[in-house]
Amino acid sequence: MMTFALSLSERIAAVRSACHDASVDGFILPRGDEFLGEYVAPYAERLAWLSGFTGSAGLAIVLSAKAGLFSDGRYTVQMEQQAPHDIWERCHSVEEPACEWLEKNAQGLCVGYDPKLVSRAMLNSWAAPGVTFVPLTANPIDRAWADQPAAPGSEIFPQSDADAGETSADKRLKIAQALQKNGQDAVVLADCTSLAWLLNIRGDDVPLTPVAQGYAVLKADASVELFVDGTRLQSGLLQILGEHVAVRSPQDLAISLAELGGSVVRVDPTTTPVWFETILVAHGAEIVHAPDPCTLPKAIKNSAEQNGSRRAHALDAVAVTRFLYSLTQSAAGQRETDLVARLNDFRAQNDEYRGQSFDAISASGGNAAFPHYKAEVGRDSVLPANSVYLIDSGGQYPFGTTDITRTVWIGPEAAPADVKDAFTRVLKGNIALSLVRFPTGTPGFRLDALARAALWDVGLDYDHGTGHGIGNYLSVHEGPQNISPAPRPTGLVNGMIVSNEPGYYEQGAFGIRIENLLLVIEAEKAAKSKRAFSSFEVLTYVPIDPALIDASLLDDKELEWLNAYHQEVLKRVGPALNTDEQAWLEGICKPIFAV
């Protein structure tokens, strides 16, 4: 848990004073750091420092007389609990976006922003009539945060070509050829996961995601300038990178950008801070706004990455299944944080385990109704008997990243009918998505309703997406593909990995989510098909709690899928368990028949 020297009221007062000194009427602060990533190092927890809100997605706007705090449906309840109501207006970022709040509250004002923390896409989304945005040379948060931690500087190490499935040189050549085809001389890479993928490197600069923070410029001749402290490179890495990768000091970045004057430079308006554009334009470069050219090939896993993901899930399944068995021996009366430690211990028994892929969501009873609840030592709950327990967790392995959610019933009494009804409807949605065949390239939003239909039948829904992309020993949340109501155009193509995680949340009572990861594969060709179709290969094999299933709600096809799934769990996981665990798993995986 983060602690800070100033109180929340003192912090916002200090920021307002810094804004006054900078001759602006306020300041807008996104949650991300200078690399615009989801997870940030302690020094970059500026939003948490300012507001007390610790969610992984958010935005703050500080004006002289009021302040607004924004996040999405995953965090609205958490925001209500953590952000003082006498300081912050708490806003749902979809229902009341920042642009509307600014239009109502900042007419005629100049609002400052840090151009190293803000992308062009962010600025465009905040645009409001009568509001002027002003780039600042100094961040008011950094000025006021006297006890701000130092920036990280972990060792940068290679990912093996065997795990990556392709050499960095081959990747650089492909991206360079794409630049040439589009008449572009260079591309700025500000997304640390793109650097990691392109150069087959990893680091430990931020929690949960194995990346090294830095920037790069890839040129159309396939050469790269990598801007990191060279002393951070593991011995021998410079030779592995090769002569076409020049490692330069981060202090040389502005000089290098100036040298691109007269060039056509590709900049991703979503992943690149606007500071880069300012430097490039000032020195005569032509800016082309286009997606980061590493994003899509990074999302389409090659055969080695697919096999690595299968291997990671196989190892992970044993740990999670053993954890679920342990709950039958000791659950009621245990603290939520202790169960996170228990699960981590099971994973850590495998030498390949490198740590969590995100902060595990260990939630009992009403806490599980917060989709992104985070238990903290000293503030967590004890699992009561006869309650729902939700555990959403994942692991990092050198060859893959996992993410799995299971919801289980903590007895000894039987689960109530309303809980079983909701759980089974969530399960029906998970099965429907697992079974779907679709034209290759179908965007995820066209599949989202399949996961919600059984809930919609009785007027229920959930306020988060159904699926997100997954990295290969990288970010647990990876684009550009997803499955959600948001109409993103990226199609699902063979080799992509997405999560399948419908849910339902009864505030103050319980929460349910069932999550497996799916690999997009070529579907078996139908007799009448004249185009390519895809389907999903399930990667996650961990039992689903039968104590929460109402079999009368499942049709024959759904029962067939569930029983086949559990037999596969038994086949894959059973041999790695001890005698007692195997006996329990055999009971859990017994076929379920129609009522």
Name the domain boundary from 294, 321, 342: 294
- Check whether residue 56 and residue 128 sit in a common domain: yes
User: Per the domain annotation, does 30 fall within a domain?
Assistant: yes
- Check whether residue 470 and residue 536 sit in a common domain: yes
- Check whether residue 14 and residue 72 sit in a common domain: yes
- Check whether residue 254 and residue 363 sit in a common domain: no
Residue pair 308/139 in contact by the 8 Å Cβ criterion: no
By percentage, how much of the chain surpasses pLDDT 90? 91
Give me the number of domains the chain comprises: 3
The pTM (predicted TM-score) of the whole model is 0.93
User: Per the domain annotation, does 151 fall within a domain?
Assistant: no
pLDDT of 527: 66
Task: State the average pLDDT over residues 247-256.
Answer: 97
Q: For 572-592, what is each residue's pLDDT tens digit?
A: 999 999 999 999 999 999 999
User: Per the domain annotation, does 150 fall within a domain?
Assistant: no
Element holding 404 (H helix, E strand): strand 404-410
Token pair listed for 224: 């790269």
CA 5 to chain centre: 30
pLDDT of 524: 85
Closest CA to 540 of 314, 305, 382: 314
User: Per the domain annotation, does 1 fall within a domain?
Assistant: no
User: Per the domain annotation, does 78 fall within a domain?
Assistant: yes
pLDDT of 3: 53
- Check whether residue 335 and residue 426 sit in a common domain: yes
* Structural domain containing residue 125: 8-144
Which range (73-77, 99-103, 417-421, 539-543) has the least confidence? 73-77
Name the domain boundary from 294, 317, 335: 294
Task: State the average pLDDT over residues 242-252.
Answer: 96
pLDDT of 1: 47
Which CATH number do you get for residue 257? 3.40.350.10
Q: For 489-501, what is each residue's pLDDT tens digit?
A: 999 999 999 999 9
User: Per the domain annotation, does 580 fall within a domain?
Assistant: yes
pLDDT of 584: 98
User: Per the domain annotation, does 2 fall within a domain?
Assistant: no
Q: For 195-228, what is each residue's pLDDT tens digit?
A: 999 999 999 999 999 999 999 999 999 999 999 9
- Check whether residue 16 and residue 140 sit in a common domain: yes
Say how far apart CA 111 and CA 466 lie, in whole Å: 35
Residue that has been written with the tokens 């997803």 in this structure: 482
Q: Is the pLDDT of residue 55 over 90?
A: no
- Check whether residue 132 and residue 164 sit in a common domain: no
- Predicted confidence band of residue 390 (pLDDT cuts 50, 70, 90): very high
- Check whether residue 103 and residue 179 sit in a common domain: no
Q: For 66-97, what is each residue's pLDDT tens digit?
A: 999 999 877 887 889 899 999 999 999 888 99
- Check whether residue 358 and residue 469 sit in a common domain: yes
In the predicted model, what is the mean pLDDT of the chain?
95
Which CATH number do you get for residue 516? 3.90.230.10
Q: For 523-571, what is each residue's pLDDT tens digit?
A: 987 667 789 999 999 999 999 999 999 999 999 999 999 999 999 999 9
- Check whether residue 270 and residue 335 sit in a common domain: no
- Check whether residue 287 and residue 306 sit in a common domain: no
Which range (26-35, 135-144, 314-323, 369-378) has the least confidence? 369-378
Q: Is the pLDDT of residue 243 over 70?
A: yes
- Predicted confidence band of residue 56 (pLDDT cuts 50, 70, 90): confident
Name the domain boundary from 243, 264, 294: 294
The residues, ordered by sequence, that sit 6+ positions from 239 with a Cβ below 8 Å of its Cβ are none
User: Per the domain annotation, does 434 fall within a domain?
Assistant: yes
Backbone angles phi, psi at 47, to 5 degrees: -65, -40
Element holding 189 (H helix, E strand): strand 186-189
- Check whether residue 45 and residue 161 sit in a common domain: no
Q: For 275-294, what is each residue's pLDDT tens digit?
A: 999 999 999 999 999 999 99
